[in-house]
Structure 1
């Protein structure tokens, strides 16, 4: 009677897992234990993970903006220059080189008008010069026995020189420069000047208050036209100019 179960008492169930695996997760069995918690590092964004590429991209962007700005300025300047140049040509009717040449010619003409002409005393340093005559196209200087022939033509310039200083001063013809219509400059032919009679002006000392007259001799091309004479009391002086066309 002791082994008999009382009515209403639940009957013990045999171990249903004996010799069997527990049912898989999700099939009515118990939940498996949760894995231990691991603190996962936060994922960085793309720019932080690619710092080199980000830096290069930034440089390219800045460079592109700078080039765009620079190119715009250059184009504006070029257009401005072109516009200015076109305006200048359109208004004057001539290019810049032509205007410069015209300006230089005008200055030369103005200078020639200011330069004194023949028979007008001019001064440089201790000397007062007066050009009295110009003779061109001379082939030979000297006499029938002692003479010299020109390579092109001799241009003879008669000059009077007065010492207006207080000390002796030597007149050298080599300091006197002749210019032709083409702007070429010529030095005197002192060797030819020696053959001219009573011509000491090529190298002569002049005392204070005294006056010396003579002829400057220049060997120039046959087609050259003398236009002005630059006179100096010494090789270091500033000089004075006389127009030979007046």
Structure 2
């Protein structure tokens, strides 16, 4: 193999590997070999650009994933809200085992009949609810499996019925609910609950009646 080459400028024979032509003195190195510092800087710029591009793709992927998660959460939230439709007094609310109808909702300063009466504590008021429910399943349902009735305020706090007030109100409206016996298929019974709540809080509005049984929940706006 020849150890000689032609000069890039004058064309005379010179040894391979020399930096300058011995005849014309011209530099035989290419641009990158003559400017090593510039070459290094260009290399760093190119590598930085590639890294930035990869980082941008990663950021975009993260943003896309975050947006997707947010949309999924919002979708689940919307679905959750759809599970609690709003009904009116007199509507039939169908649950897993019952057809529930809220007959009346009224504020009362006193509950009870002629001989037994009860008034709310100081600062309180009574919300009396009369309702009925029918066993639409094909099996008897125990008394402890009846639909639950609760009040909720505008912040979503759930209130249970006052046992004493509810028992006293029963002497006034005479419900035919099952105390110990099962409710057989196709049978409808009447019931009532009384809730003692803050009169001032009730006057500010936002209260609802929550009916729940099995997988079904339903709201009725009160005020």
**Which TM-score applies when normalising by structure 1?**
0.47
Provide the residue aligned with 1:122 in structure 2: 93
- Using the TM superposition, give the Cα deviation of residue 41 of structure 1 relative to its aligned residue in structure 2, in angstroms: 6.1
| Partner secondary structure for residue 45 of structure 2 | helix
Distance 1:208 1:202, change over 3 A: closer
Q: Which runs of 5+ in 2 are unaligned?
A: 1-14, 20-27, 57-77
Mapping for residues 61-72 of structure 1, pairs under 5 Å = 61-62=45-46
Matched, 1:42 2:18: yes
Q: Contact 2:110–2:120 (CA<8 Å) still a contact in 1?
A: yes
Q: Secondary structure at the match of 1:58?
A: helix
In the alignment, is the contact (CA less than 8 A) between 2:206 and 2:222 conserved in 1?
Answer: yes
Secondary structure of the structure 2 residue equivalent to 1:239 = strand
CA shift, 1:56, in A, is 2.7
Would you say 1:238 and 2:216 are equivalent positions? yes
Aligned to 1:210: 187
The CA deviation at 1:202 is 9.4
Deviations 1:169-212 (A, max 9, x none): 235577223344x2524232253324443567596642223222
Offset of residue 164 of structure 1 = 2.5
Structure 2 distance, partners of 1:50, 1:210, is: 98
Match of 1:157 in 2: 129
Q: 1:201 to 1:228 in 2, by over 3 A?
A: farther
CA RMSD of aligned residues (A): 4.5
In the TM superposition, residue 157 of structure 1 has moved relative to its aligned partner by 0.7
* Greater relative contact order (CA < 8 Å, ≥ 6 in sequence): 2
Cα distance in structure 2, aligned partners of 1:219 and 1:213: 21
Q: Which has the larger radius of gyration?
A: 1
Q: Is the 8 A contact 2:32 2:39 kept in 1?
A: no
Aligned residue-pair number: 163
Question: 1:126 touches 1:165 (CA, 8 Å); kept in 2?
Answer: yes
Q: Structure 1, residues 84-110: CA drift from partner, whole Å, max 9, x if none? A: xxxxxxxxxxxxxxxxxxxx9xx99xx
Task: After TM superposition, give the deviation of residue 159 of structure 1 in Å.
Answer: 0.6
Partner of 2:161: 189
Could you list the per-position Cα deviations for residues 140-179 of structure 1 after superposition, in whole angstroms to 9, with x for gaps in the alignment? 6568878574473221111112222232223557722334
Number of the residue aligned with 1:229? 209
Deviation per CA, 1:50-82, whole angstroms, max 9, x where unpaired? 75x455312333267679999xx9xxxxxxxxx
5+ residue gaps, structure 1: 1-38, 74-103
The residue that corresponds to 1:14 in the other structure is none
Q: TM-score, structure 2 length as denominator?
A: 0.51
